[in-house]
């Protein structure tokens, strides 16, 4: 039997407000993925998304779908 988890990973709003756009930090994203891997989660798929904030700003996000055996 498998268990699934869907996560929207995105950085904080501060970079978007100051710079007009915010990208995902690859080091923090790697830490997030490794933390979940240690708990048995495996990435099935992910999709990049640009999310609008307060009509003017954008920030990069990833929709991550993970699974693990239970």
- Enter the pTM of the model: 0.77
Q: Which residue has the tokens 């997030």?
A: 32
- Residue 40: left if φ>0, alpha if ψ -120 to 50, beta else—which one? left
Tens digits of per-residue pLDDT, 10-66?
Answer: 876 654 445 545 678 889 899 999 999 999 999 999 999 887 766 666 778 899 999
State residue 46 phi and psi, 5-degree precision.
Answer: -150, 155
Q: Which of 54, 51, 47, 63 lies closest to 22, judged by CA? A: 51
**Domain encompassing residue 51:** 2-69
Q: How much is the pLDDT for 55?
A: 65
66 close to 43: Cβ distance less than 8 angstroms: yes
Q: How many domains does the chain divide into?
A: 1
């Amino acid at each position: 039997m498998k268990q699934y988890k869907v996560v929207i990973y995105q950085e904080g709003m501060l970079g978007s407000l100051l710079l007009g756009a915010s990208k995902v930090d690859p080091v923090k994203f790697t830490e997030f993925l490794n933390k979940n891997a240690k708990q048995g989660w495996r990435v099935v798929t992910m999709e990049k998304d640009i999310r609008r904030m307060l009509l003017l700003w954008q920030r990069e996000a990833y929709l991550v779908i993970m699974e693990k055996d239970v």
